[in-house]
Amino acid sequence: MSGKTYYITTPIYYPSDKLHIGHSYTTVAADTMARYKRLQGYDVKFLTGTDEHGQKIQRVAEDKGLEPKAYTSQIVGWIKELWKKMDISYDTFIRTTDKQHIETVQKIFKQLYDQGDIYKSTYEGWYCTPCETFFTERQLQDGLCPDCHRDVEKVKEESYFFKLSKYQDRLIQHIEDHPEFIQPQSRQNEMLNNFLRPGLEDLCVSRTSFKWGVPVSFDEGHVVYVWIDALSNYISALGYLTDQDADFKKYWPANVHLVGKEIVRFHTIIWPAILMALDLPLPKQVFGHGWLVIDGGKMSKSKGNVVDPKVLVERYGSDAVRYFLMREVAFGQDGNFTNDALIQRINSDLANDLGNLVSRTISMIEKYFSGQLPVNRRGTEFDQDLQQIATKTVYKVEDAMEQLFFSDALVSIWQLISRTNKYIDETQPWLLAKDHRNDDMLANVMYHLAETLRIISILIEPFMPRTPKLIREQLCISEPKIVSWESTKLWGRLPQNLSVKRGINMFPRIDLEKEREILEEIQEKNKQKQLASQEKQQEKKQVQKDEKTTVAEDTPYIGIEDFSKVELRIGEVIQCEKVEGADKLLKSQIKIGDEVRQIVSGIAKHYSPEEMIGKKVIVVTNLKPVKLRGVLSEGMILAASDQEGNLVLASTDQDIASGAQVK
């Protein structure tokens, strides 16, 4: 080991059974980089894992009738299996439910609180559950989440806040002083202009309305807001704040955090601010890559293309899928994903260019020299150009890799492959073979082809971990010093007395038409499966609901203190209308004392809007506001219903002023 270290991370994934090929993108890129650095002699730490806390996961688990940890464990098993299939060579897999991680997050939170960087206050604003993100009124777009454009919930709760605003100037300074910190450049501008320069607000860092999270150690009822929990994984995984922190000392700061573009903000503003507060060095770089999209929109399993990474890897092999991910789209930009594009790349780049070069070379050596190359050689006029291009390619690849331009690196390697194929056309071995007086020249041509293949097998290794082995088995080479990264820089490392052995066809051509049909069938089956599982889930939910109703008798009594938490008041309906697109819902404006509230109730089958106006009703006034069908409801009207489905509004025996308390 050279003593040089390299620490690379992927984001930790939300455990979900909806993972698609887009999710594999960051991980394949990180793995490619980790393998590249290992080849260069670095002591590499490659971290990935799962982000298991938060309201969203709690809700999904509940829907499935599982404890959150039981649910996430199932998915973690699935994810690990996928990474194995895709040859992801991570060194550490962290789960945010790991004991060590939880303890470290608690220590970090406490330390920040003790030193005054975290303080207690009340949060009032909007929350997007799918994104686990808080927004101010100003940040919403048309009342919706600015990131995912879904409904947001109004929340008001006692919370801890992190003094993010305190770090604004230092963050701007750091970004300006370290232009390499946020890459690509466009994302750096976005962070500075859209977030940092307009001003940072302090960040809400705890929640009380759900339990599935890291508990705040000194305040029961609060859990640490998921992003603080999640981001800390990059140091908790190294043993930070534990007595086994050798990895932390060795690998921190990270060389690069690879992240998708939508989470660059968390990684380049919140995370560095936390690190500054902890007095720790910042990661050297955060690289925000683009998205794989389908028809310009978000990728999903139901969009007419097979995007299940397992299916793709099983059909085409991990090397082909990895190659496609790194080649097709320039890292940093968005790119369209289609099954057709994947198949076409396999056919043209892998089967035609690389596969053919290997099989032609091996079969010519077998045919012309019975698999054993003689040592006597005579050069051709085309040799020098090929030699030069071969030994120069590695520098181009190194240059591209240092900037994480994976696609450029592959383009350079494929230029070498094309050049080598052209060398065959130039030297025309089949003509040389016609006359034994040309044997020395023919042997030389074969050696050039084999030697270039040796170099290519090394250059592609970070991208395609399996193919190099298959090439080298055919060239009968394995000696470490002739397959090392450095050995690509010197021509002629292949033994002079080379023998070869034909192997399997590494990349058989795919019949596009037939394959399309097969993929359509797979897609159809998936749809059916999805429908069946949705139905099953609905049934399961219904059973759970029924069970809850039947066990109601066992429900423990509540004390008067619990009952008195419910605030009931008399309200008068002053306006009422139907909720568009919802045949059960009415939206009423209800005067409660001096205040008017909007309440949505499921009573439209029993009362018309006209009937409601003027009615005095009993309202639960301290229910948390929710949105029903996108309409805000700030309370609940009480009603009685029987088993026949009759429903009547609850009211008082005699008239009483609106606003009166019901006790």
> Which is nearer to ligand MSP, 226 or 619 (by Cβ)?
226
Task: From 330, 348, 199, 175, select the one nearest 264 (Cα to Cα).
Answer: 175
Burial grade of 427 (CB within 10 A; 0-12, 13-18, 19 or more): buried
CB of 239 to ligand MSP, least distance (A): 18
> Which is nearer to ligand MSP, 183 or 444 (by Cβ)?
183
Query: How many CA atoms does the CB half-sphere of 86 hold within 13 Å?
Result: 30
> Which is nearer to ligand MSP, 42 or 212 (by Cβ)?
212
CA angle, 337 then 463 then 498, to 5°: 135
Q: Classify residue 634 by its DSSP letter.
A: -
> Which is nearer to ligand MSP, 13 or 135 (by Cβ)?
13
CB of 11 to ligand MSP, least distance (A): 4
CB of 235 to ligand MSP, least distance (A): 11
> Other CB atoms closer than 10 Å to residue 139's CB: what's the count?
15
Q: Is the peptide bond before 68 cis (omega within 30 degrees of 0)?
A: no
The residues that touch ligand MSP, with contacts defined as CB under 6 A, are 11-14, 22-23, 25-26, 51, 230-231, 233, 259-260, 262-263, 291-292, 299
CA angle, 616 then 617 then 623, to 5°: 140
Burial grade of 198 (CB within 10 A; 0-12, 13-18, 19 or more): exposed
> Which is nearer to ligand MSP, 333 or 370 (by Cβ)?
333
Between the two ends of the chain, the Cα-to-Cα distance in Å is: 75
Tokens at 376, concatenated:
């006597």
> Which is nearer to ligand MSP, 14 or 240 (by Cβ)?
14
Q: Is the peptide bond before 253 cis (omega within 30 degrees of 0)?
A: yes
CB of 299 to ligand MSP, least distance (A): 4
H-type alpha helices, 200-308: 226-231, 233-236, 246-251, 264-265, 271-277
Q: Taking CB positions, which residue lies at the least distance from ligand MSP?
A: 260
Burial grade of 200 (CB within 10 A; 0-12, 13-18, 19 or more): buried
CA 337/CA 294 separation, integer angstroms = 5
> Which is nearer to ligand MSP, 237 or 364 (by Cβ)?
237
CB of 225 to ligand MSP, least distance (A): 12
> Which is nearer to ligand MSP, 230 or 455 (by Cβ)?
230
Question: Given its phi and psi angles, is residue 476 left (phi above 0), alpha (psi -120 to 50 degrees) or beta?
Answer: left
CB of 415 to ligand MSP, least distance (A): 27
CB of 349 to ligand MSP, least distance (A): 21
Q: CA separation (Å) from 573 to 561, 578, 613, 626?
A: 30, 14, 5, 19
| Cβ atoms 355, 506 nearer than 8 A | yes
> Which is nearer to ligand MSP, 289 or 493 (by Cβ)?
289
**Three-state DSSP class for residue 385:** helix
CB of 48 to ligand MSP, least distance (A): 10
The rounded radius of gyration (Å) of the Cα atoms in the chain is: 32
> Which is nearer to ligand MSP, 147 or 245 (by Cβ)?
147
CA 45/CA 247 separation, integer angstroms = 9
> Which is nearer to ligand MSP, 290 or 659 (by Cβ)?
290
CB of 51 to ligand MSP, least distance (A): 3
CB of 258 to ligand MSP, least distance (A): 7
CB of 318 to ligand MSP, least distance (A): 18
Task: Report phi then psi at 468, rounded to 5.
Answer: -55, -40
Cα of 507 vs its chain's centroid, Å: 29
CA angle, 232 then 233 then 237, to 5°: 125
| Cβ atoms 265, 237 nearer than 8 A | no
> Which is nearer to ligand MSP, 256 or 292 (by Cβ)?
292
CB of 98 to ligand MSP, least distance (A): 14
CA 200/CA 281 separation, integer angstroms = 21
Tokens 């809850």 label which residue? 548
Cα of 106 vs its chain's centroid, Å: 25
> Which is nearer to ligand MSP, 133 or 393 (by Cβ)?
133
CB of 229 to ligand MSP, least distance (A): 9
CB of 335 to ligand MSP, least distance (A): 9
> Which is nearer to ligand MSP, 134 or 607 (by Cβ)?
134
| Cβ atoms 86, 131 nearer than 8 A | no
Q: Which element (helix H / strand E) includes 575?
A: strand 568-578
> Which is nearer to ligand MSP, 79 or 357 (by Cβ)?
79
CB of 22 to ligand MSP, least distance (A): 2
CA 159/CA 412 separation, integer angstroms = 53
Task: From 366, 382, 363, 356, select the one nearest 445 (Cα to Cα).
Answer: 382
| Cβ atoms 254, 284 nearer than 8 A | yes
